[in-house]
């Protein structure tokens, strides 16, 4: 597929699409700004009428200044346009499709061909977000990360990418609950400069991921790798199965723990064992069985007709694997996909979930 042609809009167009960036059309904050629903009328630069999503980079966003040092958003917009126009990206079903952008003085924005439902962060606690929909998101988002982490041969002449700001807020779902990753403000690698080495003394002066999704090990090493994205996926997975989310808009000044801290604290309370001698082998067996039954799945989801208890244990084990302290101990995203495709719910409901298990299994072992 050829590179996508996109339109450069005026800021007044974005204002028109969103009815003056009205509260009614506001969807969510994201790491560097705000997202709105919009309607693009016919005739603008020959475009057809369509529902769109509008993203605005906003340096005055309160969420930005709580932790992050503001940096040049123009670079973020320019790189996103280049990324989403590229032939390797514009055909991926779980990445937003770029319609156009705005670069008018300090007013920066992007327009996507998407009629958004809600962000994953907003949907995670809701009862209408059932087990099948949650599993659909887990598999689709795992495929997105595996796609970006793919070997160099998949992106020739470029190498793999890191997202680095994985966050449930940056995953939008459409009206059919299809997963759409829509922010790439911290992408590194591939056709862009390698920003994966960060000096420890400089961490406070640079954006270092999203609150609640950055692993503790990174804070000590200051070096990015694909396993940082894997850790963030683990946080997403815990949120999906436990109906938990840390909302940086409302929870920053409370005692609500981060999702990973909550999950790890529960896991640490599980019985531990060590083999002192062969005479205690039976104790090891008992504790292993107890650990294998450990589940973080919310009770309301356990009552879902599509839920299988064995999946709850497997997903909890997978999430804990992703949340391992040392990056080398975490799985790759290909291994994550393989685990997800072995779930009972995926095998039974593959067609309902819109999954090609044969294709995905083949991809997971490439």
Lowest mean pLDDT among 22-26, 55-59, 282-286: 282-286
- d(CA 138, CA 355) in angstroms, rounded, equals 12
Does 40 map to a domain? yes
One domain for residues 324 and 246: yes
Number of H helices, E strands in the chain: 14, 11
Q: What is the mean pLDDT of the chain?
A: 85
- For the question of whether the overall pTM of this predicted structure is more than 0.85, the answer is yes
**Structural domain harbouring 61:** 6-114
Same domain, yes or no: 107 and 166:
no
* 92 and 179, same domain (yes or no): no
Whether pLDDT at 205 is above 80: no
Q: Is the pLDDT of residue 166 over 90?
A: yes
My answer on whether 71 and 162 are in the same domain is no
**Is there a single domain that holds both residue 134 and residue 107?**
no
Residue 145: give its domain's CATH number.
1.10.510.10
Residues 288-314: tens digit of each pLDDT: 555 567 999 999 999 999 999 999 999
Residues 319 and 234 sit within 8 Å (Cβ to Cβ) = yes
Q: What percent of the chain has pLDDT over 70?
A: 81
Q: What is the mean pLDDT of residues 150-167?
A: 83
Domain final residue, candidates 53, 80, 114: 114
Q: Which of 39-43, 118-122, 207-211, 319-323 has the lowest mean pLDDT?
A: 207-211
**Do 208 and 301 share a domain, yes or no?**
yes
CA–CA distance from 192 to each of 158, 184, 189, 247, 324 (Å)?
9, 12, 5, 30, 29
Is 282 a residue whose pLDDT tops 50? no
Residues 61 and 142 occupy one common structural domain: no
Domain at 22, CATH number: 3.30.200.20
- The reply to whether 142 and 87 lie within a common domain is no
Domain final residue, candidates 86, 114, 142: 114
Residue 132 domain-assigned (yes or no): yes
Show which of 72, 87, 114 is a domain's final residue: 114
Question: How many Å apart are CA 262 and CA 148, to the nearest integer?
Answer: 28
Task: Note whether 124 and 102 are same-domain residues.
Answer: no
Q: Tell me which range, 66-70, 104-108, 169-173, 206-210, is most confidently predicted by mean pLDDT.
A: 169-173
Q: Are residues 253 and 134 in the same domain?
A: yes
Q: Is 30 exposed, middle or buried (0-12, 13-18, 19+ CB in 10 A)?
A: buried
Q: State whether 82 and 26 are in the same domain.
A: yes
Same domain, 352 and 227: yes
More confident residue, 128 or 278: 128
Asked if the structure places residue 1 within a domain, the reply is: no
How many domains is the chain built from?
A: 2
Rounded mean pLDDT of 325-331? 95
What pLDDT does 361 receive? 47
At 68 the pLDDT is 45
| Low-confidence winner among 39-53, 127-141, 282-296 (lowest mean pLDDT) | 282-296
């Amino acid at each position: 597929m050829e590179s996508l042609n996109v339109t450069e809009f005026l800021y007044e167009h974005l204002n028109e699409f969103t009815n003056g960036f009205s509260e009614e059309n506001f969807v969510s904050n994201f790491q560097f700004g705000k997202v709105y629903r919009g309607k693009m009328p016919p005739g603008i630069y020959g475009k057809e009428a369509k529902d769109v999503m509008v993203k605005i980079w906003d340096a005055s966003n309160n969420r930005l200044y709580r932790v992050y040092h503001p940096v040049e958003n123009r670079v973020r917009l320019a790189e996103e346009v280049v990324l989403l126009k590229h032939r390797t990206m514009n055909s991926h079903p779980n990445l937003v499709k770029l319609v156009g952008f705005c670069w008018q003085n300090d007013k920066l924005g992007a327009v996507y061909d998407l009629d958004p439902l809600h962000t994953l962060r907003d949907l995670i606690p809701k009862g209408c977000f059932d087990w099948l929909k949650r599993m659909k998101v887990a598999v689709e988002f795992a495929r997105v990360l595996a796609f970006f982490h793919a070997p160099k041969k998949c992106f020739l002449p470029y190498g793999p990418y890191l997202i680095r700001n994985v966050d449930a807020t940056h995953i939008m779902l459409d009206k059919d609950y299809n997963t759409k990753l829509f922010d790439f403000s911290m992408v590194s690698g591939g056709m862009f400069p390698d920003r994966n080495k960060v000096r420890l003394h400089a961490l406070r002066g640079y954006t270092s991921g999203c609150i609640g999704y950055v692993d503790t090990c990174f804070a000590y090493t200051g070096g990015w790798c694909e396993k940082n994205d894997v850790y963030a996926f683990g946080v997403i997975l815990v949120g999906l199965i436990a109906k938990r989310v840390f909302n940086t808009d409302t929870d920053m000044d409370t005692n609500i723990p981060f999702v990973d801290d909550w999950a790890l604290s529960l896991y640490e309370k599980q019985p531990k064992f060590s083999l002192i001698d062969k005479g205690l082998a039976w104790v090891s067996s008992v504790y292993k069985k107890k650990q294998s039954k450990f589940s973080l799945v919310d009770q309301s989801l356990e009552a879902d007709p599509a839920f299988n208890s064995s999946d709850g244990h497997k997903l909890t084990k997978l999430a804990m694997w992703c949340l391992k302290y040392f990056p080398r101990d975490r799985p790759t995203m290909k291994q994550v996909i393989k685990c997800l495709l072995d779930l009972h719910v995926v095998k039974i409901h593959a067609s309902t979930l819109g999954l090609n298990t044969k294709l995905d299994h083949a991809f997971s072992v490439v």
